[in-house]
């Protein structure tokens, strides 16, 4: 029986299908790339597969380090099996180095290393262009209670410590990243979505001659070229590192 029949949801970069087990879903990674709230769109052959493989390896690493995630296993190269979760409608961005919207909205210079990680929380709402929230606005909108928000913040800081070291070991600087969380069938908060160069900024430390070399979606956002080459490089470095352990 083909369990990939019922499409539950189609997003910009992924399709979610029903699984025979109602507590699980199948997440298929698409080759589509979007930026600036989908104002800019393109298709890159192999992108879905690369993001799926990169995400699966990172989820496995986080699970080994006691971070609860929705990831259950790979189904094939461009789809994974995950716990069905009720997504909390916030995007949790952690920044180690200033770049992107932080520099557009403040006077901080791009590339400034932050004294301690900054967590910015945005409302997950494309129509409103994912506005930046405050703690008070989160309370006002009753999106999540303070206790769960604290849990998510602590998890994000822990994930940052783990990922910073993980990427540093493969000569990449983890500049910032975006996470999404949800409640699983047991009511537990788990990390969801994906962790890939689509939602992390990764700067190459191998070609670090004073200029920023992005190996992430900024190659598409800023028309830098070499998009698939960069994602392939990330995937290869992760595989070489894991195989050498
Ligand atoms: N990000 C994301 N989805 C979004 C917005 C941001 O995955 O809808 C990621 C982005 O790839 C980067 C980090 O979150 O790694 C911080 O992005 P920023 O707020 O600087 O926004 P941007 O410069 O992408 O507009």
Residue with the smallest CA separation from ligand 1 atom 20 is 100
Protein residue with least CA distance to atom 19, ligand 1: 101
Q: Distance between CA atoms of 12 and 217, rounded to whole angstroms?
A: 14
CB 234 within 8 A of CB 202: yes
> Domains along the chain?
7-83 (3.30.200.20), 89-226 (3.30.470.20)
Give the residue-averaged pLDDT of 89-118. 98
For the chain, give the percent of residues with pLDDT over 70.
98
Q: Which amino acid residue places its CA nearest to atom 24 of ligand 1?
A: 100
Top mutation candidate among 176, 212, 218 for ligand 1, by most atoms within 8 Å of CB = 176
Nearest to residue 235, comparing CAs of 41, 87, 36, 51? 51
Report pLDDT digits (tens) over 51-72: 999 999 999 999 999 999 999 9
Q: How many helices (H) and strands (E) does the chain have?
A: 6, 14
Instruction: For residue 139, report the distance from its CA to the centre of ligand 1, in Å.
Output: 23
Whole-model pTM: value is 0.97
Q: Looking at the DSSP assignment, which residues form a beta bridge with residue 132?
A: 122
Mean pLDDT of 134-142: 97
State which ligand 1 atom lies nearest to the alpha carbon of 101: 20
Residue 208 has pLDDT above 90, yes or no: no
Considering only CA atoms, which of 208, 195, 199 is closest in space to residue 166? 195
Q: In whole angstroms, what is the distance from residue 64 CA to residue 61 CA? A: 5
């Amino acid at each position: 029986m083909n369990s990939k029949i019922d499409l539950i949801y189609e997003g910009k970069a992924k399709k979610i299908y029903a699984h025979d087990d109602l507590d699980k879903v199948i997440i298929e990674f698409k080759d589509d790339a979007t930026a600036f709230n989908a104002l800019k769109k393109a298709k890159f052959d192999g992108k879905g597969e690369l993001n799926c493989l990169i995400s699966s390896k990172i989820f496995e690493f986080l699970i080994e380090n006691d971070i609860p995630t929705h990831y259950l296993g790979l189904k094939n190269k461009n789809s994974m099996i995950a716990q069905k979760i009720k997504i909390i409608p916030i995007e949790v961005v952690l920044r180690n180095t200033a770049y992107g919207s932080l520099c557009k909205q403040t006077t901080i210079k791009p590339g400034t290393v932050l004294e301690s990680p900054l967590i910015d929380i945005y409302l997950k709402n494309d129509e409103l262009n994912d506005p930046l929230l405050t703690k008070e606005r989160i309370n006002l909108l009753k999106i999540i209670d303070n206790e769960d928000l604290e849990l998510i913040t602590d998890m994000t800081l822990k994930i940052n410590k783990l990922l910073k070291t993980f990427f540093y070991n493969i000569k990449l600087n983890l500049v910032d990243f975006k996470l999404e969380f949800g409640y699983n069938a047991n009511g537990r908060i788990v990390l969801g979505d994906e962790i890939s160069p689509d939602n992390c900024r990764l700067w190459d430390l191998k070609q670090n001659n004073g200029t920023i070399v992005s190996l992430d979606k900024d190659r598409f956002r800023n028309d830098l070229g070499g998009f698939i080459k960069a994602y392939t490089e990330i995937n290869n470095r992760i595989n070489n590192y894991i195989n050498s352990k």
